[in-house]
């Protein structure tokens, strides 16, 4: 879920976790409505931005805590804790406490703790925003690997376009409390369905154009520079004014610049 601050991403995530109750509608998990199921009985776990580790417990105890509350037997808990610590490459630090770890290491333990009870969905609330500059890319790779290895659905909330485009199979762009578009990263970037999505995701240039004719998939427009061009369109457009979005990498210099000559001297 991608969108600017205040658009409703975390509120929606909290509804999935059971910490907020929607006024209307349903929350379906594998086809079953979970709105009336309390948080501790949902097969949904959350990784918080602040990690939320227990400071007085060791890393192994942090991962163990949820499993004990679920009533797992000791042998099963021991095996699962060892498996999860090894999966996040933290088994050598099992007896340390959170204060002895870096931000990236704490994030790994938060992931191990959330994944240990085998949830059906893992919710991640901007989990990389508190990390140092060079750590997020490494953690993105680790998250992708964890998701593929476990097969668990990850619902990842972020306002960082690069994170969303880099990591996601499917993106929901939110704005003003509404879903503005759902699609693959390529669809979100290449085929924005409205100006908000085109403007929020990536860089773009907007031009006011005149629509001359239109089909359900393309339109012929006149640019402010007097050019007539045919462009893809998601819907049939009525004749009149419209806004054309062009990504910078789609522009190139044509034959008209071949005769330009650079001046021998440039004066300030």
- Residues whose CB falls within 8 Å of the CB of residue 185, separated by 6 or more in sequence, listed in order: 164, 165, 166, 168, 171
Structure tokens at 140: 């993105």
pTM of model > 0.85: no
Residue range 75-98: mean pLDDT, rounded: 93
Mean predicted lDDT score pLDDT of the chain: 87
Determine the pLDDT at residue 173. 96
Task: Report the DSSP beta bridge partners of residue 175.
Answer: 178
138-147 pLDDT tens trace: 788 888 888 9
Percent of the chain with pLDDT over 90: 54
What is the torsion angle, in degrees rounded to the nearest 10, for the CA atoms of residue 192, residue 197, residue 203 and residue 207? 70
Cα separation of 29 and 155, whole Å?
A: 13
């Amino acid at each position: 879920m991608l969108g600017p601050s205040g658009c409703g991403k975390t509120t929606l995530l909290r509804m999935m976790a059971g910490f907020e109750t929607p006024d209307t509608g349903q929350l379906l998990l594998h086809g079953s409505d979970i709105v009336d199921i309390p948080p501790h009985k949902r097969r949904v776990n959350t990784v918080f931005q602040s990690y939320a580790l227990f400071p007085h417990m060791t890393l192994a105890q942090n991962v163990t805590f949820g499993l004990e509350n679920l009533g797992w037997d000791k042998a099963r808990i021991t095996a699962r804790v060892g498996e999860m610590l090894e999966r996040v490459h933290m088994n050598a630090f099992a007896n340390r406490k959170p204060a002895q770890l870096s931000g990236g290491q704490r994030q790994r333990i938060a992931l191990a703790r959330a994944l240990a009870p085998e949830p059906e969905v893992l919710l991640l609330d901007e989990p990389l925003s508190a990390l140092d500059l060079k750590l997020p890319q490494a953690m993105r790779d680790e998250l992708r690997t964890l998701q593929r290895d476990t097969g668990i659905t990850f619902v990842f909330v972020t306002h960082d376009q690069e994170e969303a485009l880099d990591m996601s199979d499917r993106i929901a762009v939110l704005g003003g409390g509404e879903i503005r578009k759902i699609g693959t990263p390529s669809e979100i970037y290449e085929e924005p369905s409205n100006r908000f999505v085109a403007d929020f995701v990536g860089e773009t240039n907007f031009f006011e154009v005149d629509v001359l004719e239109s089909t359900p998939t393309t339109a012929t427009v006149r640019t402010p520079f007097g050019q007539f061009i045919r462009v893809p369109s998601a819907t049939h457009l009525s004749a009149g004014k419209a806004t054309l979005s062009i990504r910078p990498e789609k522009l190139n210099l044509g034959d008209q610049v071949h005769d330009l000559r650079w001046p021998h001297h440039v004066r300030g």
